[in-house]
Amino acid sequence: MSAGEFGELTQTPLQKVWIPRMSKRLQQRRGSSVPQFTNSPTMVIMVGLPARGKTYISKHLTRYLNWIGTPTKVFNVGQYRREAVQSYKNYEFFSPDNEEAMQIRRQCALSALRDVKTYLSLEEGQVAVFDATNTTRERRALILQFAKENGYKVFFIESICDDPDIIQENITQVKLTSPDYKDCNRDEVVGDFLKRIECYQKTYEPLDDELDSSLSYIKIFNVGSRYLVNRVQDHIQSRTVYYLMNIHVTPRSIYLSRHGESELNLHGRIGGDSGLSERGKQYARALSGFIRSQYINDLKVWTSHMKRTIQTAEALGVPYEQWKALNEIDAGVCEEMTYEEIQAHYPEEFALRDQDKYRYRYPKGESYEDLVQRLEPVIMELERQENVLVICHQAIMRCLLAYFLDKSAEELPYLKCPLHTVLKLTPVAYGCEVESIFLNIEAVNTHRERPQHVSHKASQAPLNRHFRAVPMASPEPTKQPCREDLGLPPPPCLFDLQNVDVTRNPEEALDTVPNHY
């Protein structure tokens, strides 16, 4: 068979995705503009009494799945309830004997399910996390029937906790700032919430090993002291279990730092494997002093395999672990070139990278999207660890920071990670606190701002060698009306897929390149 029968070969790789045969209705529902990492949408259903960490798990899982490229959104039924009932009085609203409140709560759950259907069926979402107590078999049966009618897979996550200290900690960490208790003191909050838990306990029916043996689920006991997994059936469920068995709630801090300034940094050259400059060596010594001043218990230090991170770690005088996965982005044919040289020799490549920096892949090199896939084992190990110092590179640090701060694919390549600055990340209940510490050693600026005047023109030969829609950041979990309902036009596409203008003058192309020596 001749090559002509297949069409002319191009540099644009085709993404082959297996999708099972579907009815015309399901084909219309799924669409085709977003690659499918699941062969049917998945509903992740939280189960458990209040103050068992369900929302914590929901937010972390959603952040992780979005980071690896699976469009995921949380639907928190508590937020729907707060919209329906503007003022919360007390725990009696959750009493199983309060028929009026029971009806309101049921309607809130149904409203959330309608939004789940919109997200999975019309907005090309792949995973919906249904964050509610779902403590009765009746409620779970309702959800299962809904999923069956719409062709969704279902995976349950039940969080079980009988440790009073953990429950008390959850209440004081999260519920004190809940909108339900905005005008209450600590004792009032704790007292009312404990009574709310008692209301749920009256009707709580945990997942049962025998009665629910046909369901797919994981049970998490006392925030990870023990797990029970049943009937994991696909890739998404497997990744979910893998992730949940790695996260923990032990207080800790993660320190992110780039290597000290390198010789190639001084000359504005990207990539390479040069050693530290004199100021870079000063920073390594300053970093050592800073780490000692923190009095960190059992600190682990990770570096890449590259000379400049290893030299930075050597000054600490402590053992360190080298990760090849932490190596800087591979710039391919552009390694050790300045931005000016790339613009002069490869103007099309320079323009294409400005068009879509996250998905752009250097010829014979990597993209930021590739880095995210490469760094997943690092993220998993970071979730398992306690206190860690990661000495890495600009692109790597951006990817790690985007995970912990839940940043989008559009934001990630432009996150500021300056030299000679330590970022201290401290995970908290529903997010991550960031402290930036500059160690008073000057260094060159390697941050290139987002170009403001990138023009797009269609041409006969597409410049895109690689494109795939990846959400990265978690969508807003709050209930919002559809744009169509408000009479608004569809939102603009996040990335313009037209080809960039390669005829722009060099001054315009280089206007955001930082000065270097």
> Which residues have a catalytic role annotated?
259, 328
Q: What is the DSSP string of 291-356?
A: HHHHT-TT-EEEE-SSHHHHHHHHTTTS--EE-GGGSPP--GGGTT-BHHHHHHH-HHHHHHHHH-
Per the annotation, does 58 bind a ligand? no
Per the annotation, does 263 bind a ligand? yes
Neighbours of 50 (CB within 10 A): 22
Short-list 34, 29, 19, CA closest to 72? 34
With vertex at residue 31, the alpha carbon angle to CA 61 and CA 470, rounded to the nearest 5 degrees, is 40
The CA distance from 248 to 385, in Å, is 9
Per the annotation, does 259 bind a ligand? yes
In 3-state terms, what secondary structure has residue 450?
coil
With vertex at residue 207, the alpha carbon angle to CA 222 and CA 58, rounded to the nearest 5 degrees, is 55
Short-list 397, 425, 427, CA closest to 413? 397
Residue 311: how many CA atoms within 13 Å on its side-chain side?
19
The CA distance from 219 to 230, in Å, is 9
Per the annotation, does 265 bind a ligand? yes
As a whole number of Å, the end-to-end CA separation of the chain is 57
Q: Give the tokens for residue 497.
A: 């897929």
Per the annotation, does 261 bind a ligand? yes
Query: Helices 394-405 and 368-384, interaxial angle, to 10°?
Result: 60
**CA 210 to each of CA 82, 109, 163, 228, 368: distance values in angstroms, whole numbers, following the listed order:** 36, 27, 25, 13, 46
3-state helix, strand, coil in the chain (%, to 5): 40, 15, 45
- Taken in order 134, 136, 140, 145, the sign of the CA dihedral is negative
Q: What is the DSSP string of 16-48?
A: --------HHHHHHH-SSS--SSSS-EEEEEE-
Per the annotation, does 308 bind a ligand? yes
Per the annotation, does 262 bind a ligand? yes
Residue 186 per-residue DSSP state = H
The CA distance from 312 to 291, in Å, is 13
**CA 324 to each of CA 172, 246, 364, 381: distance values in angstroms, whole numbers, following the listed order:** 41, 21, 18, 14
Pick out the residues of the known binding site for substrate.
Answer: 258-265, 308
Pick out the residues of the known binding site.
Answer: 258-265, 308
